[in-house]
Amino acid sequence: MTLPIRRERKREHGFTLVELILVIVLVGIIGGVLTMMLAPAIQSYLLVGQRAALTTVADTALRTIAVDVRRAVPNSLRLTNPQCLELVPTSDGGRYRSGPIVGRTDARYINDAEPGTAFDVLTRFTNTPAAGDVIVVGNRGDEVYTANSPSVAVVQSVTASPAAALGEHRIQLGTSLQVPPGYDGGRFVVVPAARRIVTYRCSAGIDAGGSGTGTLVRLNGNNLAAPPACGNVVPAGAQLVATKVSSCSFVVHANAGATQDSGYVQLQLTLSDKGESVPLTVGVNVSNVP
């Protein structure tokens, strides 16, 4: 007798709709709690990075200006308005021969008694001047910006000194140069031909989203007698130093102390981005002694 074969049915496993809904609800609750806990930390992290980026840009911009200010021809800082600072940069300097040498007729010199078209340099150069560069002696104010100033002359050539006793170099000038009356410092500075004048101009503003709309630019000019480059239109060749500027100002104190030997420049710059602002202020002491 053949017995019937019994087939066991496998039990099917799975989730019910109620279980799935319960899991979704729990995951949503856990996700919401985590979001509430982590969102402030993530937002704070992003804001710190945003402020750090703004600080880096502002600090770099102000340090760039400070370097130019420290290297400027003494007394050449010119503030047309609080958003426009001009200066005459230098690339090197040295000491000139201020009188003849007893027993020699080949020395070349300049002084306040008579002009000269060549002079011996008594010190070595770090950056040797080239034709077209400008020599400035004893600047005490706006003389460096004045056309045909007797204390400003263009370099024609720079050669080695014809004799060791005469100095390190000899500079031939395109026009005569005369030391200002009463100046006995014996120093001259070299202004590069490519950028005889540097202008920093800034504009400021902020939009509805809390981001700065102004810019800070750097202009190079080669005409010392030109009027201040502080117009409303920024030339096409301007170098962009900083963007997102919401506030900026330059302050120049020609004589900050009890003596006339030093000046002080205050540079203030505020950058803003999406409601975050970074204000920075840098002070630079400058020498007024030519």
- 20 within some domain: no
Tell whether 73 and 147 lie within a shared domain. no
Looking at 158, 176, 191, the residue that finishes a domain is 191
- 117 within some domain: yes
Domain extent at residue 236: 48-87+197-287
pLDDT class of 120 with cuts at 50, 70, 90: very high
Nearest one of 114, 113, 149 to 134, comparing CA atoms? 149
- 11 within some domain: no
- 15 within some domain: no
Tell whether 117 and 246 lie within a shared domain. no
Task: List pLDDT tens digits, range 190-223.
Answer: 999 988 999 999 999 999 999 999 999 999 988 8
Looking at 191, 216, 248, the residue that finishes a domain is 191
Please give the structure tokens belonging to residue 266. Answer: 């205050």
Task: List pLDDT tens digits, range 233-252.
Answer: 777 778 999 999 999 999 99
What's the whole-model pTM score? Answer: 0.81
Nearest one of 106, 96, 273, 270 to 188, comparing CA atoms? 96
Tell whether 115 and 236 lie within a shared domain. no
Domain count, the chain: 2
Residue 264, beta-bridge partner list: 253, 285
- 30 within some domain: no
Task: List pLDDT tens digits, range 170-195.
Answer: 999 999 999 999 898 999 999 999 88
169-177 and 214-221: which strand pairing?
Answer: unpaired
Res. 7: pLDDT tops 60? no
Structural element, H or E, at residue 266:
strand 262-273
Looking at 191, 209, 226, the residue that finishes a domain is 191
pLDDT of the residue at 256 = 63
